[in-house]
Amino acid sequence: MCPRCGAFEGSGPAPHSSPCGLCATASPPFDAARSLFPYAGDVRAAIVAAKYAGRPYPVDTVALRLHESLVGRWRDLIPDGASPTVVPVPAHPWKYFSRGFNLPALIASRLSRRTGLPFDPLALSRTRGRVPQARLSGSLRHENVEGAFRVPRGRKVPSAVLLLDDVYTSGATADACARVLKSAGADFIVVVTVARAVP
């Protein structure tokens, strides 16, 4: 597993000591990224049902698993003494109203309650709707989210952030959000997702 982006590259549970080829050539704007599950099987089915059929999966259980990972195998990702703010990747308003919820925000709020970490659902906003990322691949995903996020005017950005999303696929959304947060003053960003697409 790449110690930076969390990409799975070998066998065994221990992170590699060196970054993957992609992180070595183009270091991402976030400091680390980790995911609970591969985006496959029942996990994929549950996320798809939540996002497109309006059936949220048990977010409390997911938040519990995330909390266990943060205090267990992921604890070294957060600098000593840091109390990061949990920030969800925002949905565009029309998507929020059509679904009635934003899945990353639901999970982030539950994770905040379990950990006692601050929760800021307004640290980022989505400036415009674009083609759904699920319909795109490769570089098109990065182009699709370029300029799609911003920090609201006058908003103070936390120095340490746990950026929460449901799925990490190409890293385009995580990159775009992290760049905006870093340019607005964030010093340290860990991306945490429920699932990650695997080759």
CATH number at residue 52: 3.40.50.2020
Interval 53-58 mean pLDDT: 72
With tokens 């659902």, the residue in question is 121
Write out pLDDT tens, residues 166-189. 999 888 899 999 999 999 999 999
Q: Is residue 147 part of a domain?
A: yes
How many structural domains does the chain have? Answer: 1
Residue 36 pLDDT > 90, yes or no? yes
Do 22 and 36 touch, CB atoms closer than 8 A?
Answer: no
Q: Is residue 9 part of a domain?
A: no
Write out pLDDT tens, residues 83-104. 899 999 998 766 766 667 788 9
Can you give the pLDDT at residue 116? Answer: 93
Range of the domain at 187: 31-196
pLDDT tier, 19 (very low <50, low <70, confident <90, very high otherwise): confident
Can you give the pLDDT at residue 136? Answer: 46
Q: Is residue 170 part of a domain?
A: yes
Distance from C-alpha of 129 to C-alpha of 107, rounded to nearest angstrom: 22
Q: Is residue 8 part of a domain?
A: no
Q: What are phi and psi of 59, to 5 degrees?
A: -65, -30
Q: Is residue 21 part of a domain?
A: no
Can you give the pLDDT at residue 81? Answer: 82
Write out pLDDT tens, residues 138-176. 555 555 567 788 999 988 999 999 999 999 988 889 999
Beta bridge partners of 17: none
Can you give the pLDDT at residue 144? Answer: 57
Q: Is residue 10 part of a domain?
A: no
* Percent over 90 (pLDDT), the chain: 45
What proportions of the chain, in percent to the nearest 5, are helix, strand and coil? 40, 15, 45
Q: Is residue 16 part of a domain?
A: no
pLDDT tier, 133 (very low <50, low <70, confident <90, very high otherwise): very low
End-to-end Cα separation, the chain, in angstroms: 13
Q: What is the pTM of this model?
A: 0.85
